[in-house]
Amino acid sequence: MAGQAGERRAMAALLEGLLVGAARPMESVAAWAGRLMSDHATPLAQRFIDELEAEWFPALPPDAFCEQVTAQVRDRLSAWHPGWPHLWAHVLRVTGAAVALAPDAGIDPALAYLMGICHDVAKLDEFRTGQPHEEAGAEFAGEVLRGHLAAAQIGSIQAAIRKESGGALGYLLHDADKLDKIGTAGLVRRISTGADPAWLPIALSRVADDTQSFPAMHFRLSADLAVRKRAFQAWFLPLAEDAIHGPRT
């Protein structure tokens, strides 16, 4: 009993640590490790960080042009909405995953990077303009990539961002984006939008729903990652529910 109570306290502390709010920059595994291990370091928190590190591929610009586009995307995202850091972290995770999947897809990693970094650039603007963010994001990509990539490459990136493409880039973005909804990345993504413990049951329910409806993957690495993420969640979610609601009778 004492052991179960200790595990419940450790999980409650971990869940509380994930409640940072959408406006707090948490752009790396190191940022989360600093947050979760600073005051309540436990084996559970360390296991979560280790799993997050295995899932979160770094998004390193492969060249100077990619670095330039990254700065433009960050500037646009941060222009007006206070919750931009949360979306920026998602963009970085999706971009890192896209680059990691690129060899399986037979795609130039620089193209995968540019597609990933641009894919949600207009998501926050949709609240103000009403224009679908996929369409506005494709327009942005066309503007910043023109003169640097071949027209066919730009068109393929735009089609993937619009979710029109069944080609390799479209499949690549599909898998990278969907993978960010489950596993530790999915938990971080959903829980960290709030700062109130009352948000936790809703966030965990959304992660469970995302897992239930998770689609088939197109590449070996993305399929393997999905298996790993779902296995972690199958272990984690019941413990989290127990910490929030108490043991079921």
Average pLDDT, the chain: 94
How many whole angstroms separate alpha carbon 117 and alpha carbon 115? 6
Please give the pLDDT value at position 221. Answer: 97
The length of the chain, given as a count of residues = 249
pLDDT bucket at 110, cuts 50 / 70 / 90:
very high
Residue 206 has pLDDT above 70, yes or no: yes
User: 1: how many CB neighbours lie within 10 A of its CB?
Assistant: 5
Span 155-184, average pLDDT? 95
pTM of the model: 0.95
Residue 58: both structure tokens together: 């770094």
**Distance separating the N- and C-terminal Cα atoms of the chain:** 15
pLDDT in tens, 131-164: 999 999 999 999 999 999 999 999 999 999 999 9
State the burial class of residue 248 (Cβ atoms within 10 Å of its Cβ: 0-12, 13-18, 19+): exposed
Concatenate the DSSP letters of all residues of 98-140 into one string: HHHHHHHHT--HHHHHHHHHHTTTTTTTHHHH-S-HHHHHHHH
Nearest 5 degrees, angle CA 44-CA 189-CA 108?
110
CATH T-level assignment (fold) for domain 64-166: Hypothetical protein af1432 (1.10.3210)
Biggest alpha carbon–alpha carbon distance for the chain: 66
- Residue spans of the domains in the chain: they are 2-55+181-245, 64-166
State the burial class of residue 213 (Cβ atoms within 10 Å of its Cβ: 0-12, 13-18, 19+): exposed
Please give the pLDDT value at position 1. Answer: 43
Please give the pLDDT value at position 248. Answer: 54
Given a contact cutoff of 8 angstroms between Cβ atoms, the answer to whether 159 and 173 are in contact is no
pLDDT in tens, 79-108: 999 999 999 999 999 999 999 999 999 999
pLDDT in tens, 18-60: 999 999 999 999 999 999 998 778 999 999 999 999 999 999 9
